Amino acid sequence: MDSFDYVIVGAGTAGCVVANRLSADGKSTVLVLEAGGSDRTVWIQLPIGYGRTFFDRSINWMYDTEAEPNLGGRISYWPRGKVIGGSGSINAMVYVRGQPHDFDQWQAMGNPGWGWDEVLPFFRKSEDHDHGASAYHGAGGPIHVTDITRRAHPLCHEFIKTGQALGFAHTDDFNGPSPEGVGIYQINTDKGLRASSANAFLRPALKRSNVALRTKAQVTRILFEGQQATGVEYRRGGQTVQVKARREVILCGGSINSPQLLQLSGVGEAAHLASLGITPVLNAPAVGRNMQDHLAVSYFYKSRRPTLNDELGPLLGKVKAGIHYLWNRGGPLSMSVNQGGGFVRSDAGQPFPNLQLYFSPVSYTKTPLSERKLMNPDPFSAFLLSFNACKPTSRGSLKIVSADPSAYPSIQPNYLSTEKDIEEAIVGNRLLRTLATTKPLSDIITEELVPGSHLQTDEELLEDFRQRADTVYHPTSTCMMGPDPATSVVDARLRVHGVQGLRVVDASVFPTITSGNINAPTVMVAEKGAAMILEDRASHALI
């Protein structure tokens, strides 16, 4: 049996970071196991190419949820990366840390060391930021953060002016000293290419002789001796292989695969596991519970002014965009279509921003979701406005339905299951309408295409929300961090309660979902998690 000091399950956003940091001393041996294959394809590395990976089963798990009763019985499609780089190889690259109070809340929930002041250094450590080094940003770190303010579509600035007209502040940095307000999103690109953690962290690590990566290797269970995790078993090329972890097994599979693997390995609700023929190793009822996600809806507007539809729709426009990109790695192909947005309070009584806004100078009303491509927008000038609640209070769950590791788990997000989430859906709908009827956007809009001006009452708009709202692809908290093993899965050092030699380091440990996109805080969790693993190794060496 092969053996390594550390076995990392998943070469996704977090796993790439952890592999780099744990192997930096050149001594500790690290094995990274990835169920997917290579990320070296043009549609992953080209920033706007993520539209082509949305339904690509070769690099995407392509999960579906159970029917959601509060969304009209609809099933929600959840793409997740099954490829080197994980979901960070197929996402829209928006770099948002979240609001400082998010992390102070984590600490207040019984997780010492996870307050804003404690996590900020790990955000800075990972960064090579366009703004350079400061109290809020890092320079020279592995992952590049690009400020696209000067290159964003001109309509984004009209959106910002409209937000200001409504009293929202204009911020030039959602990750700086004033993260509240409206502005332009920063993105993870580097010289016109996607700056995933695979490119930034894993590839440099693979140059070290003490790091090994095995792709197309799906881990099927964690190996235990009593309550000690000793390694993993995985399938690769039709063979079943076991590998030993001399120090620790580290799960970095994300909010779906990490709890799934724990349950397959006997760590979960004991009665449920036994009913599937799995021998429980530890009764851990919180595994797979506490799931959170952001739920958003888009309003589409026809525009008097040109949008990205006019640039990316016509064949000549596609050719021009391609030439621009090939010439200097610039233009619309070098960016995400999610360009403008903000974090705002729906009313003065809110203690923190409670709604996230998105402004995309592009629209897709003429094609079904299954055919939507970012290079084939509507054949007319239009754009979209979207929102989601920053801190939804609904909680969902994930359970395996079989002892077969290839069987997809049951995912039940349980959207809109609290009155607070319903109320914020209503006020968010109203805010989009208010933005659209405020200058200068109101002077640019000729027609509300979707949902349409015939819907006016709160009841009508809420019903439309139930029929059209969907995930923003931010699942978190299924292996929640906390002090109580009855309600959480890992402790503040990301060690799985009740067993030894096993940690979870990914977005599944978030105690609550952050206010915004989750890739940046996942990188931070991985940076901090790796640092704690190294600290614990050093302290054990001194004993």
Residue 319 burial (10 A CB sphere; 0-12, 13-18, 19+):
exposed
CA–CA dist 507, 351 (Å, integer): 25
CA–CA dist 414, 291 (Å, integer): 9
CA–CA dist 370, 388 (Å, integer): 22
Single-letter code of the amino acid located at 420: K
Catalytic residue among 170, 474, 497, 540: 474
Instruction: Write out 231-282 in H/E/C secondary structure.
Output: EEEEEECCEEEEEEEEEEEEECCHHHHHHHHHHHCCEECHHHHHHCCCCCCE
CA–CA dist 476, 390 (Å, integer): 13
Question: Minimal CA–CA distance to 72: which of 470, 471, 467?
Answer: 467
CA–CA dist 12, 87 (Å, integer): 7
Query: What CA–CA distances, in Å, run from 448 to 187, 211, 238, 298, 367?
Result: 29, 54, 53, 11, 17
CA atoms lying within 13 Å on the CB side of residue 358: 26
CA–CA dist 395, 289 (Å, integer): 8
Helices (H), 33-134: 42-45, 100-108, 116-126
The SS3 assignment for 222 reads strand
CA–CA dist 381, 376 (Å, integer): 13
Strands 340-344 and 143-145: unpaired
CA–CA dist 128, 371 (Å, integer): 36
CA–CA dist 223, 220 (Å, integer): 10
CA atoms lying within 13 Å on the CB side of residue 361: 26
Question: Minimal CA–CA distance to 231: which of 3, 406, 34, 499?
Answer: 3
CA–CA dist 18, 28 (Å, integer): 12
CA–CA dist 217, 10 (Å, integer): 9
The reply to whether 474 belongs to the active site is yes
Residue 334 CB partners (closer than 8 Å, separation 6+): 47, 48, 151, 189, 192, 325
Catalytic residues: 474
